[in-house]
Amino acid sequence: MRTSLLSNKFNRRRLLKLSGGALAAMAGASIAPAWSGRFLKPVSSVEAATLQSPRPTIYRHFIASDGWISIPTGELKNEQGVVLAPDALAPTGKSTYVFGFRDITDLEGGTAVATPANTTDARVLAQKGNVQHSAPQMFFDEGDAIQITLSNLGFALRPDLFDPHTIHWHGFRNALPLFDGVPEMSISVAVGRSFPYYYHPTDPGTYMYHCHNEDVEHVQMGMDGIVFVRPAQNRTGNGAGAPVARGYVGGAPTAPMGYVYNDGVALNDRRSTAYDREFGIFLNEMWAQSHFDDAHIQTSDWSDFHADFYLMNGRSYPDTLAPNGGGLDLSSGSLVAPVGRPDLDSQPLSSLIQCCAGDKVLLRFVNLGYTQPAMKLAGIPMRIVGKDATPLRGLGTGGLRNGADTSYKTNMIYMGAGESYDAIFTAPPKTGAGYDTYLLFNNSLGALNKPGGTGLGGQMTEVRVYAAGALPAQTAPNT
């Protein structure tokens, strides 16, 4: 599928011309030591029997620009007494300047535009200065053919800047350099231009993506988000008796919502990665001075970095508990704010985790901050079934990750920058009306009490456990 996509747009010669990186990679392939194949090979556990026949290319249209978000800060000053947040330039209800992405696919009815002259669409151009944080949560199925066209609209507040942007899918094992988004190795998207990225994921798991142009700045400024790939086993079930997942063709309403990996085992096997509910948790922090500097045409000394706000899915506690946003307003192209929270229109993704007693709940953690959070779920053990889009199984038959079970139980995950973890917990018993509350928070307690002891602005959310059957089955992540 990928080959035919490529041949439509680029023949092999043109591809090599365009990408010195691709050329280097091809040259490298011929001299790579024989053992490298073993490490570069997909590490999926048990390959599902077959992928469904090729499906239509999934198309997404992203814009890159700037905007403003709301963090419940109180007033934050620097040592010189300058108020960094809320920034005096911020629109009503907002506090902090960001760079970022938006998904505007629905404005075009979801149809791929062959030559993305679509930056002439008035509704698209109107989104300059209107981005979201964290970047849109994306998820795909193993074997999907994906096109993401990125249009760089430039910055509304900083017309003096002409920064290009890219999309780098961090951890993607089979990236062509042309589509890897590392500007030194391939290309980046200039202001006023669009570029289509193509992907064909073969390894399920939890990943992240970010702009790789001037990445210390652009990642800190907000151009980052979560992306995950669901395994083929969701579509096919497996030979050990795990059924097709709910929501896929032939999936019964009582089937699991999905599997984290192609685990190849029965539902009651300890190694099963089946789950009933799924939540992406994207972690990062913001250094208020750098956001102020970018808004006020100043430069930042990045070695001064320190975290002022700690975010989950682009929000700080208690905003983490607010509901999801309402999607796109198709007349204006703007994001529809969560009910009752007009200030959170640019931060649409909730981190509230709601489940029923006995549910298996998948938490897909990604840390793309510059610090190391220790995420603790107080009172409920989590089983870590995957790390960095790799199932926690030893190497087994066929060189695949279908060997010994190396998953483990913990109530705290200490994660470095750029790491992802797949954790499943079983919701504890609950009877009667209402819900029991368990806290999920960064156990580095300074992250709960920023800035200046106001008690606001931390990485914390709630797990709310209802009685069995009290909630409808989940149909989409983070709901």
Binding site for Cu ion (CB under 5 A): 165, 211, 213, 218, 223
As a whole number of angstroms, the distance between CA 44 and CA 201 comes to: 11
Write the DSSP string, 389-411: TEESB---GGGSS-SSB--EEES
Residue 179 or 259: which CB sits closer to Cu ion?
A: 179
Compute the least distance from the CB of residue 218 to Cu ion, in Å. Answer: 4
| Closest chain position to Cu ion (CB) | 211
Residue 259 or 282: which CB sits closer to Cu ion?
A: 282
Among 37, 89, 34, 50, residue whose Cα is nearest residue 66 = 89
Residue 211 or 389: which CB sits closer to Cu ion?
A: 211
Residues 242/267, Cβ–Cβ less than 8 Å: yes
Compute the least distance from the CB of residue 90 to Cu ion, in Å. Answer: 21
Compute the least distance from the CB of residue 225 to Cu ion, in Å. Answer: 13
Residue 128 or 277: which CB sits closer to Cu ion?
A: 128
State the alpha helices, DSSP H only, in 196-322.
215-220, 233-236, 288-295
Residue 209 or 365: which CB sits closer to Cu ion?
A: 209
Q: Residue 322, SS3? A: coil
Compute the least distance from the CB of residue 211 to Cu ion, in Å. Answer: 3
As a whole number of angstroms, the distance between CA 30 and CA 301 comes to: 42
Compute the least distance from the CB of residue 371 to Cu ion, in Å. Answer: 21
Residues 256/418, Cβ–Cβ less than 8 Å: no
As a whole number of angstroms, the distance between CA 167 and CA 203 comes to: 19
As a whole number of angstroms, the distance between CA 152 and CA 87 comes to: 25
State which amino acid sits at residue 329.
Answer: D
Burial of 353 (0-12, 13-18, 19+ CB in 10 A): buried
Residue 130 or 407: which CB sits closer to Cu ion?
A: 130
Cβ neighbour number for residue 18 with a 10 Å cutoff? 15
As a whole number of angstroms, the distance between CA 403 and CA 142 comes to: 21
> Which phi and psi angles does 87 have, rounded to 5°?
-65, 135
Compute the least distance from the CB of residue 404 to Cu ion, in Å. Answer: 42
Residue 165 or 271: which CB sits closer to Cu ion?
A: 165
Residue 44 or 152: which CB sits closer to Cu ion?
A: 152
Residue 165 or 364: which CB sits closer to Cu ion?
A: 165
Helix (H) / strand (E) containing 363: strand 360-367
Residues 21/185, Cβ–Cβ less than 8 Å: yes
> In whole angstroms, how large is the CA radius of gyration of the chain?
22
Parallel, antiparallel or unpaired: strands 58-69 and 146-152: parallel
Residue 86 or 369: which CB sits closer to Cu ion?
A: 369
Q: Which residue has the tokens 């795909």?
A: 140
